[in-house]
Amino acid sequence: MTETPPAVEKVDPIAEAIDALLEKYPGAVSHDNRQGYEGVVVEASKLVEVATTIRDELGFDYLANACAVDYLDDGYFEMVYNAASIQAGGPPLSFKARTARDEAELPSLVGVWPGADFQEREAWDLMGIRFQGHPNLRRILMWEGFEGHPLRKDWKEPFYEEEAKPFSSRWPDGHQIRSEQKNPYGMNVQYPPGFAFEAYESEADPATYAGMGVTVQQEGLKTGRMIVNMGPHHPSTHGVFRMVLTLDGETIVELQPVMGYLHRNHEKIGERNTYLQNMPYTDRLDYITSMANNLAYAIAVEKLMGVEVPERAELIRVLMAELTRFVNHTWAIGFLLNDLGAFYTPALYVMNERELILDFFEATAGSRMMCNYMRFGGVFADLPERIGGVVHDDHERMRSYETMAFLEELIFERMPRFLDQFTDLLVQNEIVLTRTQGVGILPPDKAIAYSAAGPVLRASGVPYDLRRADPYSIYNEFDFDVAVRYNGDVYDRFLVRFDEMRESIRILQQVYPRLVATEGQPIFGGKRAYQVRVPPGESYGRHENPKGELSFYVVSNGTPNPWRYHIRSTSFINLTGLSEMCRGHKVADVVAILGSIDIILGEVDR
Amino acid sequence: MDSDEIRDPYDPNPVPPDLRNNVVLARMEDLVDVIYDWSRARSVWPMFFGLACCAIEMIATGGARYDQSRFGMEIMRPSPRQCDLLIVSGTVTKKMVGPIVRLYNQMAEPKYVLSMGACANGGGPFKEGYNVVDGIDKFIPVDVYVPGCPPTPGVAAWLYHAAQAHRGAVDPYCALVQAHPVGRGAGSRAGSRPHRPAPRAGDPSRGAEGHRSAAGRR
């Protein structure tokens, strides 16, 4: 950082809040004294009470994250909550509750923050903590009947080889064996003792359909309620997402999202990996915004390591993150229109622009989509001198540009022009207006309660953008506005993305001259190392991804592998409010509402 | 060009060289097969079915730059009943494999499967995960494997073209045939009926040599 922001007041709101809690609940609340940890530990019996105080009296009204950590050696699970203040901004207050491993049970916070719903279900599914008072405590990513809770540290997957990478079979000798060779049937499966194929019956569907309100028999009426499954194979669910709808005629009575069809065990694999090995996996989270995902993970680990990032690296990071935001929002809009029936045409326009930005990514990072570009302390490589393809043939005319000229044209001409054209074509389009205005309304209080983030939150009239509210990187040095719209319907979520793209271009136009000025400066702080040294402690790195808050909660115990690697996935948590938004609308509106939330299944299911 | 070079060993009634522009002689049953294969190869209907990251590149293949419609496969249908190519584009999980097999079973014959990317081929980077299937080919027959994580649309487009070649179509313009010319004798293509060359209507200069140079220009 070149300049420090002016210090307004010396009061630390977190410390103040902690003091207030300690005073109000002596005995039930205590400091988290472990080295590298922050926040408070709350007695489980008082958790709901303390959470209500935190929300109502202390003003931390937004539950950013809730995740479970398995402290195997100490014999307890810890549920970590991070609550932030929408009004005041700033870092979140972290509070924790512990429960014994063998009888894991905690009170549910769904009554305080409805946004905890899916996150608690996830903690039950993957970690096996029962939440008393949760209205619908079922597995969410795995299926009902799955044996065990996979994120527990003593749970071993079928292809288990060793506790942590690098595996001794592969490094340094390199005699790896294929996992299939040592597994029964050569498959990635385990059978519980006494398992019989013939007797097996999937428990998934009856559990899903229970409570969907179909048992109501309407005497004398010809129409009854019916259940419709949308997905997992449906062109408008943006991947393998499934919604179970109860319909009354065409009106939605109840909607239940079913996910996990792309649950590829990111967190379990991530806890076996070394810190750096996780970087390419973050690319595959939200695969449209891989550069921004890299940045989010780098921020979390850098916070633990305490490395300084040089200015040019920060500039390149912001450049990449904002270009990614542009790509993501164009793509989201293109596919929202796809769902509205403008089949493929807007998306084709979008792809043209995306290809250009991806060309730049490819030239810089080496890959179009899976960039794997950020490192702890900087970026992997400086911008290349030229952008161009590989020439296969003498006759082939390949385009080759100077990078900075290419960027200049892109940022100052092409992207604004495209945005203007797209705005002209779409924003006042009559079909778009009719299909989207007044549909899927999420009021501001509900948006906060459901922990919605990103454009979904800001379209509901809540100007909460982490780049402003809890600044990271060098965003506080740029001049931009937080895009906000006030109606909270599909149309406003659509418009807020246009606004954000404009702001992104504004940031990019400020980044460009500074990039030119910092030419040749270092892009890496500290020493480049394959195996980074991460001191013990916890870190919750927050980052405003194009889709909302993508944060990583990392617990280090000083070994080369993270002890806990949790992803606060914004697509996943934004879906908590989906059924609220859809109730009372027609089936055809569901795809519009889902399209306006803009989910990516890689991030929903992880 | 020497007339022997384009002479068809299966053709009992060789057409005189000066008439080759205008006359096609073939047995009816062969001709029907050929036309059927030819048209099938040029109107592949892939399923609009994205699984994971690869799906984005699959969609990008439909964009203007990579333009899969030049292979006659721009129409992606969401319904398995209307498709003949299933592109498994991404990580297959244990939760998802059931629906995929079901989709495959719902497709009408003849049907083809293209496994796109490392995950669908063999588990990819997520192979060790407890919910990941290490390769879709353990559940449904795969015709073409596309490497990459994810394959770039260029590679994908090239291999879609390969998928057309696989379907037994006699296709003088097919990229894969040009890259690995199969013998013009019987039984040269694995698992299919003996290959018979297509009677060519058109420019005689576009014989075997002509095609090769056409591919070179590509």
A15-27 residue pLDDT tens: 888 888 888 888 8
Contact B127 A188 (CB under 8 A): yes
Contact A262 B150 (CB under 8 A): no
Is the pLDDT at A505 greater than 90? The verdict is yes
Which residues are within 8 A (CB) of A220 and not within 5 positions of it... i.e. 6 or more apart? none
Question: Which residues of chain A from 316 to 355 reach within 8 Å of chain B, CB to CB?
Answer: 344, 347-348, 351-352, 354-355
Q: What pLDDT is recorded for position B191? A: 37
DSSP β-bridge partners for residue A257:
A243
Is the pLDDT at A3 greater than 70? The verdict is no
Q: Across the interface, which of A143, A235, A264 has its CB nearest the CB of B132? A: A264
Contact A369 B49 (CB under 8 A): no
What's the mean per-residue pLDDT of chain A? 85
Chain B CB contacts of A392 below 8 Å: none
Better-predicted residue by pLDDT, B170 or A91: A91
Q: Which of B53, B101, B149 to mutate to test the interface with A (most CBs of A within 10 A)?
A: B53
Question: Which residues of chain A from 171 to 190 reach within 8 Å of chain B, CB to CB?
Answer: 179-180, 187-189
Q: Which helix (H) or strand (E) holds A605?
A: helix A601-605
Residue A455 in 3-state DSSP?
helix
Residue-wise pLDDT for A427-454, tens only, equals 888 888 988 888 888 999 999 999 999 9
DSSP β-bridge partners for residue A105:
A130
Does A281 reach chain B within 8 Å, measured CB to CB? yes
Contact B128 A272 (CB under 8 A): yes
The C-alpha atoms of residue B205 and residue B218 are separated, in whole angstroms, by 18
Lowest mean pLDDT among A44-53, A328-337, A562-571, B10-19: B10-19
The length of chain A, given as a count of residues: 606
Q: Identify whether the C-beta of residue B102 lies closer than 8 Å to the C-beta of residue B81.
A: no
The vertex-B111 CA angle with B110 and B113, nearest 5°, equals 155
Single out the residue of A552, A545, A538, A525 nearest to residue A606, CA to CA.
A552
Residue A365 main-chain phi, psi, to 5 deg? -100, -20
Amino acid at A128: G
Q: How far is CA A70 from CA A126, A155, A254, A536, in A?
A: 11, 11, 35, 15
Single out the residue of A256, A149, A129, A132 nearest to residue A205, CA to CA.
A256
Q: How far is CA A267 from CA A208, A373, A563, B73, B131, in A?
A: 25, 20, 10, 38, 12
Which residues are within 8 A (CB) of A156 and not within 5 positions of it... i.e. 6 or more apart? none
The C-alpha atoms of residue B121 and residue B143 are separated, in whole angstroms, by 11
Which residues are within 8 A (CB) of A373 and not within 5 positions of it... i.e. 6 or more apart? A291, A294, A320, A361, A364, A365, A379, A380, A381
The strand order across the sheet containing B85-89 reads B85-89, B112-116, B144-146
Q: What pLDDT is recorded for position A491? A: 92
Contact A265 B55 (CB under 8 A): no
Which residues are within 8 A (CB) of B197 and not within 5 positions of it... i.e. 6 or more apart? B8, B10, B170, B184
Q: Across the interface, which of B56, B62, B96 has its CB nearest the CB of A262? A: B96
Is the pLDDT at A271 greater than 80? The verdict is yes
Residue-wise pLDDT for A346-400, tens only, equals 888 888 888 889 888 888 888 888 888 998 888 888 888 888 755 455 555 556 7
Question: Which residues of chain A from 224 to 243 reach within 8 Å of chain B, CB to CB?
Answer: 232-235, 238-240
**What sign for the dihedral angle of Cα B197, B198, B199, B205?**
negative
Q: How far is CA B85 from CA A240, A331, B107, in A?
A: 18, 25, 9
Q: What pLDDT is recorded for position B25? A: 65
> In the predicted model, what is the mean pLDDT of residues A419-426?
89
Q: How far is CA A410 from CA A155, A218, A326, A475, B66, in A?
A: 49, 61, 12, 21, 21
A5 to chain B, closest Cα gap in Å: 39
Q: What pLDDT is recorded for position A394? A: 52
The C-alpha atoms of residue A127 and residue A417 are separated, in whole angstroms, by 49
> In the predicted model, what is the mean pLDDT of residues A297-311?
89
Contact A348 B64 (CB under 8 A): yes
Q: Residue A510, Cβ neighbours under 10 Å: how many? A: 17
Task: Express as a percent the part of chain A with pLDDT over 70.
Answer: 91
A319 falls in which pLDDT band (50, 70, 90)?
Answer: very high
Does A395 reach chain B within 8 Å, measured CB to CB? yes
Question: Which residues of chain A from 517 to 556 reach within 8 Å of chain B, CB to CB?
Answer: none
Better-predicted residue by pLDDT, B18 or A4: B18
Q: Which of B95, B136, B139 to mutate to test the interface with A (most CBs of A within 10 A)?
A: B95
A521 falls in which pLDDT band (50, 70, 90)?
Answer: confident
The C-alpha atoms of residue A453 and residue A462 are separated, in whole angstroms, by 10
Residue A476 in 3-state DSSP?
helix
Q: Residue A27, Cβ neighbours under 10 Å: how many? A: 8
A197 falls in which pLDDT band (50, 70, 90)?
Answer: low
Contact B56 A369 (CB under 8 A): yes
Q: Identify whether the C-beta of residue A109 lies closer than 8 Å to the C-beta of residue A115.
A: no
Contact B99 A179 (CB under 8 A): no
Residue A131 main-chain phi, psi, to 5 deg? -110, 110
Does A558 reach chain B within 8 Å, measured CB to CB? no
Q: Residue A487, Cβ neighbours under 10 Å: how many? A: 17
Residues of chain B scoring pLDDT < 50: 1-5, 168-218
- Pull the structure tokens for residue A20: 């207030």
Q: Identify whether the C-beta of residue A407 lies closer than 8 Å to the C-beta of residue A459.
A: no
Q: Which helix (H) or strand (E) holds A545?
A: strand A544-545
Which residues are within 8 A (CB) of A225 and not within 5 positions of it... i.e. 6 or more apart? A213, A214, A216, A218, A246, A247, A248, A253
The C-alpha atoms of residue B203 and residue B201 are separated, in whole angstroms, by 7
Chain A CB contacts of B122 below 8 Å: none
Better-predicted residue by pLDDT, B13 or A104: A104
**What sign for the dihedral angle of Cα A127, A129, A131, A136?**
positive
Is the pLDDT at A63 greater than 70? The verdict is yes
Residue-wise pLDDT for A76-89, tens only, equals 999 999 999 988 88
Rg (CA), chain A: 24
Q: Which of A188, A202, A367, A391 to mutate to test the interface with B (most CBs of B within 10 A)?
A: A188
DSSP state of A133: T
Examine residue A172 and say whether the peptide bond preceding it is cis (omega within 30 degrees of 0). Answer: yes
Examine residue A92 and say whether the peptide bond preceding it is cis (omega within 30 degrees of 0). Answer: no
Q: What pLDDT is recorded for position A501? A: 92
Chain B CB contacts of A189 below 8 Å: 94
The C-alpha atoms of residue B58 and residue A107 are separated, in whole angstroms, by 45
The C-alpha atoms of residue A516 and residue A482 are separated, in whole angstroms, by 26
A440 to chain B, closest Cα gap in Å: 25
The C-alpha atoms of residue A470 and residue A5 are separated, in whole angstroms, by 13
- Pull the structure tokens for residue A139: 């597995």
- Pull the structure tokens for residue A186: 């050569």
Rg (CA), chain B: 19
Contact B96 A187 (CB under 8 A): no
Contact A261 B96 (CB under 8 A): yes
Q: What pLDDT is recorded for position A246? A: 87
Beta strand ranges found along A453-529 (DSSP E): none
Residue in chain B closest to A151 (alpha carbons) equals B130
> In the predicted model, what is the mean pLDDT of residues A462-486?
89
A260 to chain B, closest Cα gap in Å: 7
Q: Which helix (H) or strand (E) holds B85?
A: strand B85-89
Residue with structure tokens 């504004």?
A506
The vertex-A294 CA angle with A471 and A160, nearest 5°, equals 130
Q: Residue A43, Cβ neighbours under 10 Å: how many? A: 15
Indicate left, alpha or beta for A143 from its phi (over 0: left) and psi (-120 to 50: alpha).
beta
The C-alpha atoms of residue B127 and residue B118 are separated, in whole angstroms, by 10
Single out the residue of A507, A496, A517 nearest to residue A416, CA to CA.
A507
A344 to chain B, closest Cα gap in Å: 9
Q: Across the interface, which of B51, B53, B64 has its CB nearest the CB of A351? A: B64
- Pull the structure tokens for residue A177: 């064996």
Residue-wise pLDDT for A153-195, tens only, equals 888 888 888 888 888 888 777 777 777 777 766 777 777 677 7
Contact B129 A235 (CB under 8 A): no
- Pull the structure tokens for residue A604: 């929903």
Contact A260 B95 (CB under 8 A): yes
Beta strand A105-107 with A130-132 is parallel
Q: How far is CA B27 from CA A337, A450, B171, B192, in A?
A: 51, 70, 18, 19
Q: Which of B54, B131, B152 to mutate to test the interface with A (most CBs of A within 10 A)?
A: B131
Q: What pLDDT is recorded for position A295? A: 92
Q: A105-116 burial string, b = 16+ CB within 10 Å, else e?
A: ebbbbbebbbbb
DSSP state of B178: H
Beta strand B112-116 with B144-146 is parallel
Beta strand A544-545 with A548-549 is antiparallel
B132 to chain A, closest Cα gap in Å: 6
A244 falls in which pLDDT band (50, 70, 90)?
Answer: confident
Does A265 reach chain B within 8 Å, measured CB to CB? yes
Is the pLDDT at A590 greater than 50? The verdict is yes
Q: What pLDDT is recorded for position A248? A: 84
Q: Identify whether the C-beta of residue B126 lies closer than 8 Å to the C-beta of residue A283.
A: no
DSSP β-bridge partners for residue A100:
A76
CB pairs under 8 A between A and B: 128
